[in-house]
C-alpha cells in the first residue's frame, strides 16, 4: 500500500479553493442573518461545504473536515429556524469559519494553539440546545441531513485508538493473577475486539445511496434530468478505502452530471433523462467500482487544447493531471473542485488506481480499482521465553534462530508483562533449548528477540487492527490469541 503526502501544488490549490469557499459561506451566512432570502446562494454554500468536507478528507485535513461537517449541521439547523437563532449560535458559526480559515492556512490545530476538540464540544452544546427548540419544518433542500454520524462514520484515527485500548486490555488480562480478574479482563478484551471487528468493514451500498439526493439536486439546479442506477451488491470495503472511494464518487458523480450528461434538448435520440450507473464487483482481490454515464463523453478537442503536448493515447489520462479542467469559466459546479488529480491521489494513497474510458456522444466510464478488504496476515509465530505467550511478527521479516545474547530483546520485559503472565496455547509445539533468539531482518533493520520455540509461518486473522506505527496488535492464529510485535516500533 502506498502511503504518502500529496504534492504541494495539490495542497496549495486545495487551500486556495477552500479559503474561497469559506469566504463565500461567511458572506452568505451574514446575508441570511440580515434577512436576505436567497435559495440559490444557500444551495451554493451547501455545495461549497460539501465539497470542502470531501476535499479536506481526501487531502488529509481531518480537522477542516470535522469543522465543515459541523458547519453543515449548524447551517441546516439554522435553516430549520428560518435563521432566527441565538447569539451563541451565531457566534459558533462565525468562529467555526474562522477556525477553518486558520486551519487551512496552518493545517494542524495543535500546532496553531487551537483547542479544536473544546470548540467542537461548544458547537455540540449549541446544536443540542437549539434542537430542543426545533420547529417541525422541512429541511432546506440545499442542505444535507442534520446528523450523519453512524458507526460507519468513525474515523480511522478513532478506530485505531479503540484498537489500542483493546490491546491494552488484552495485556492487562495477560498479567492478571486472580482468576476472576483474568476472566473479567478477557471479557472486556473480547467485547471490545468484537465491536471493533464489526467496524472494520464498511458496506459500499449506503455510501453510494448517499449520492442520490445531492445528485438529483445538482441535476435540477443545472436543468438536467438524471436516473441514478446503483448495483453494488454486498460489496464491502476497508474503512480507509471506503473513505477514498466515497470522496471519489462525490466528485465523479458531480462531474458526470455537470460535464457529461447533456441538457434534455441536446440528448438527441437518447432518453430524456441521462443515466448514471454505479456498479461494483470483486475481481481477484480487488474491488472495481465503475461510474458510467451515457452523456456526451469527454470533449477530447477541449482536452487537446489544454494539453497540446499529450499524445492521442495519453489524451484521456490528461484529465487526471493536477489543475486540469476543460472549463473556461470558474463559476461551474465541478470545475472548481480540487479535481480528478486529487481523486486519483486519494485512491493511490490507499493502494488503488483509476482509469477512464470515453466514447464521443455515448458516454464515459471511470473505473476505480481498490484492494478488497482482507483481515488475513502472514506471520511467523513463536512462543515467548518461558513458553507462556503466543507471539508473532509479520512475515516480511526474515527470521534466523541463533543463541541468545544480552543484546536480544526479551518480549516479556519489553512489554512490561509480569513473570506469571500466561495464556493457553495449543497450536505451537516446537520447543527450543533455553536461551535462544530469533534474529529478525527486514531491509536495513536487524533485531534479535528471545524466543522459546522455532518461528513457524502461519496465517493470522486481524481481529483488532492497530495503526501501523503501534508496536503491538492482537491477532488470532487457529483460534489462539497472539501478540503481533512490530519490532521496528518497540523501544527497548
Partner 1 sequence: MTLQLANLEAPMLTADSVVTDKILTTRLHGTADTESRPGLEGYVSELHKEACRLGMSKVVVDLRNLEFMNSSSFKVFITWLGQVMELPADAQYRIHVLSNPSTHQWQRRSLAALSCFAVDLVTIET
- From candidates 91, 147, 263, 362, binder to partner 1 by CB under 8 A: 91
In the chain, what's the furthest Cα-to-Cα distance?
Answer: 83
Grid look-up 530469533 returns 438
- For partner 1, the closer of residues 7 and 117 by Cβ is 117
Residues contacting residue 58 through CB under 8 Å, at least 6 positions apart: 244, 247, 338, 342, 343, 345, 346
Using rule CB under 8 A, residue 479 touches partner 1:
no
H/E stretch holding 52 reads: helix 39-59
Q: Which stretch binds partner 1 (CB under 8 A): 41-49, 86-94, 145-153, 404-412?
A: 86-94
- For partner 1, the closer of residues 78 and 383 by Cβ is 78
- From candidates 11, 19, 41, 102, binder to partner 1 by CB under 8 A: 102
Using rule CB under 8 A, residue 107 touches partner 1:
no
- From candidates 41, 114, 300, 369, binder to partner 1 by CB under 8 A: 114
Helix (H, G, I), strand (E, B) or coil at 347: helix
Helix (H, G, I), strand (E, B) or coil at 9: helix
CB atoms within 10 A of CB 205: 17
Using rule CB under 8 A, residue 302 touches partner 1:
no
Using rule CB under 8 A, residue 119 touches partner 1:
yes
- From candidates 19, 112, 227, 277, binder to partner 1 by CB under 8 A: 112
Residues contacting residue 340 through CB under 8 Å, at least 6 positions apart: 251, 255, 319, 320, 324, 354
From 455, 465, 386, 6, select the one nearest 197 (Cα to Cα).
465
Q: Nearest approach, Cβ of 289 to partner 1 (angstroms)?
A: 39
Q: Alpha-carbon distance 196 to 465, whole Å?
A: 8
Set of cell numbers at residue 308: 497540446
Q: Are strands 236-237 and 286-293 parallel, antiparallel or unpaired?
A: unpaired
H/E stretch holding 438 reads: strand 431-442
Q: Alpha-carbon distance 335 to 174, whole Å?
A: 56
Using rule CB under 8 A, residue 64 touches partner 1:
no
- From candidates 68, 75, 126, 290, binder to partner 1 by CB under 8 A: 126
Q: Nearest approach, Cβ of 27 to partner 1 (angstroms)?
A: 13
Q: Are 261 and 276 in contact (CB under 8 A)?
A: yes
Using rule CB under 8 A, residue 468 touches partner 1:
no
Q: What is the DSSP secondary structure assignment for residue 145, as one 8-state letter?
A: P
Q: Which stretch binds partner 1 (CB under 8 A): 122-130, 265-273, 309-317, 378-386?
A: 122-130
Using rule CB under 8 A, residue 87 touches partner 1:
yes
- For partner 1, the closer of residues 34 and 426 by Cβ is 34
Could you give the count of Cα atoms lying within 13 Å of 372 in the half-sphere of its Cβ? 12
Q: Alpha-carbon distance 163 to 149, whole Å?
A: 20
User: Judged by CB under 8 A, how many residues of this single chain contact partner 1?
Assistant: 21
Beta strands in 274-417 (DSSP E): 274-283, 286-293, 353-359, 363-371, 376-383, 390-394, 398-403
From 101, 42, 102, select the one nearest 72 (Cα to Cα).
42
Using rule CB under 8 A, residue 36 touches partner 1:
no
Using rule CB under 8 A, residue 118 touches partner 1:
yes
- From candidates 11, 31, 107, 122, binder to partner 1 by CB under 8 A: 122
Using rule CB under 8 A, residue 31 touches partner 1:
no
Q: Nearest approach, Cβ of 97 to partner 1 (angstroms)?
A: 10
- From candidates 99, 143, 173, 189, binder to partner 1 by CB under 8 A: 99
CB atoms within 10 A of CB 293: 25
Using rule CB under 8 A, residue 19 touches partner 1:
no
- From candidates 11, 95, 310, 401, binder to partner 1 by CB under 8 A: 95
- From candidates 49, 64, 116, 176, binder to partner 1 by CB under 8 A: 116
- For partner 1, the closer of residues 25 and 215 by Cβ is 25
Q: Alpha-carbon distance 59 to 10, whole Å?
A: 8
Q: Nearest approach, Cβ of 13 to partner 1 (angstroms)?
A: 22
Q: Which stretch binds partner 1 (CB under 8 A): 5-13, 41-49, 59-67, 119-127?
A: 119-127
Using rule CB under 8 A, residue 81 touches partner 1:
no
Using rule CB under 8 A, residue 395 touches partner 1:
no
Q: Are 337 and 51 in contact (CB under 8 A)?
A: yes
Using rule CB under 8 A, residue 92 touches partner 1:
yes
Q: Alpha-carbon distance 426 to 433, whole Å?
A: 19
Q: Which stretch binds partner 1 (CB under 8 A): 85-93, 354-362, 410-418, 468-476?
A: 85-93
Q: What is the DSSP secondary structure assignment for residue 488, as one 8-state letter?
A: G
Q: Which stretch binds partner 1 (CB under 8 A): 44-52, 114-122, 135-143, 478-486?
A: 114-122
Task: State the residues that interact with partner 1 by CB under 8 A.
Answer: 87-88, 90-92, 94-95, 98-99, 101-102, 112-116, 118-119, 122, 125-126
Amino acid at each position: 500500500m502506498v502511503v504518502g503526502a500529496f504534492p504541494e501544488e495539490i495542497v496549495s490549490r486545495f487551500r486556495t479553493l477552500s479559503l474561497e469557499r469559506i469566504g463565500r459561506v461567511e458572506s452568505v451566512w451574514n446575508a441570511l442573518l440580515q434577512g436576505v432570502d436567497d435559495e440559490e446562494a444557500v444551495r451554493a454554500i451547501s455545495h461549497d461545504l460539501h465539497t470542502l468536507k470531501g476535499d479536506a478528507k481526501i487531502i488529509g485535513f481531518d480537522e477542516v473536515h470535522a469543522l465543515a461537517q459541523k458547519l453543515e449541521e449548524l447551517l441546516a439547523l439554522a435553516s430549520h429556524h428560518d435563521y432566527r437563532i441565538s447569539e451563541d449560535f451565531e457566534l459558533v458559526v462565525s468562529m467555526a469559519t474562522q477556525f477553518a480559515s486558520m486551519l487551512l492556512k496552518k493545517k494542524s490545530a495543535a500546532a496553531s494553539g487551537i483547542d479544536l476538540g473544546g470548540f467542537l464540544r461548544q458547537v455540540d452544546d449549541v446544536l443540542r440546545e437549539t434542537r430542543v427548540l426545533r420547529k417541525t419544518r422541512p429541511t432546506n433542500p440545499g442542505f444535507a441531513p442534520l446528523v450523519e454520524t453512524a458507526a460507519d462514520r468513525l474515523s480511522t484515527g478513532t478506530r485505531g485508538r479503540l484498537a489500542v485500548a483493546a490491546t491494552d486490555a488484552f495485556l492487562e488480562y495477560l498479567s492478571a493473577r486472580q482468576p476472576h480478574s483474568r476472566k473479567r479482563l478477557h471479557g472486556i478484551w473480547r467485547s471490545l475486539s468484537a465491536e471493533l471487528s464489526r467496524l472494520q468493514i464498511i458496506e459500499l451500498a449506503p455510501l453510494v445511496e448517499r449520492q442520490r439526493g445531492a445528485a438529483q439536486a445538482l441535476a435540477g439546479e443545472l436543468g438536467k434530468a438524471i436516473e441514478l442506477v446503483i448495483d453494488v451488491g454486498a460489496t464491502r470495503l476497508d474503512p480507509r478505502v471506503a473513505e477514498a472511494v466515497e470522496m471519489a464518487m462525490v466528485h465523479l458523480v458531480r462531474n458526470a452530471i455537470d460535464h457529461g450528461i447533456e441538457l434534455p434538448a441536446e440528448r438527441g435520440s437518447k432518453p430524456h433523462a441521462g443515466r448514471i450507473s454505479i456498479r461494483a464487483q470483486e475481481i481477484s482481490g480487488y474491488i472495481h467500482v465503475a461510474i458510467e454515464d451515457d452523456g456526451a463523453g469527454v470533449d477530447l478537442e477541449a482536452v487537446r487544447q489544454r494539453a497540446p503536448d499529450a499524445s492521442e493515447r495519453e489524451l484521456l489520462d490528461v484529465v487526471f493531471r493536477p489543475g486540469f479542467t476543460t472549463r473556461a469559466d470558474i463559476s461551474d459546479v465541478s470545475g472548481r473542485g480540487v479535481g480528478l488529480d486529487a481523486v486519483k491521489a486519494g485512491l493511490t494513497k490507499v493502494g488503488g488506481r483509476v482509469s477512464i474510458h470515453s466514447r464521443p456522444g455515448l458516454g464515459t466510464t471511470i473505473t476505480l480499482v481498490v484492494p478488497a478488504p482482507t483481515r488475513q496476515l502472514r506471520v511467523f509465530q513463536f512462543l515467548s521465553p518461558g513458553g507462556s505467550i503466543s507471539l508473532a511478527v509479520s512475515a516480511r521479516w526474515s527470521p534466523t534462530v541463533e543463541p541468545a545474547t544480552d543484546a536480544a530483546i526479551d518480549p516479556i520485559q519489553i512489554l512490561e508483562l509480569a513473570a506469571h503472565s500466561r495464556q493457553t496455547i495449543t497450536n505451537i509445539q516446537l520447543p527450543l533449548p533455553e536461551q535462544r533468539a530469533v534474529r529478525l531482518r527486514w531491509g536495513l533493520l536487524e533485531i534479535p528477540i528471545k524466543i522459546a520455540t522455532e518461528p513457524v509461518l502461519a496465517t493470522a486473522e486481524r481481529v483488532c487492527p492497530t495503526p501501523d506505527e503501534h508496536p503491538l496488535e492482537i491477532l488470532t492464529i487457529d483460534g489462539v490469541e497472539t501478540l503481533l510485535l512490530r519490532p521496528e516500533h518497540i523501544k527497548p
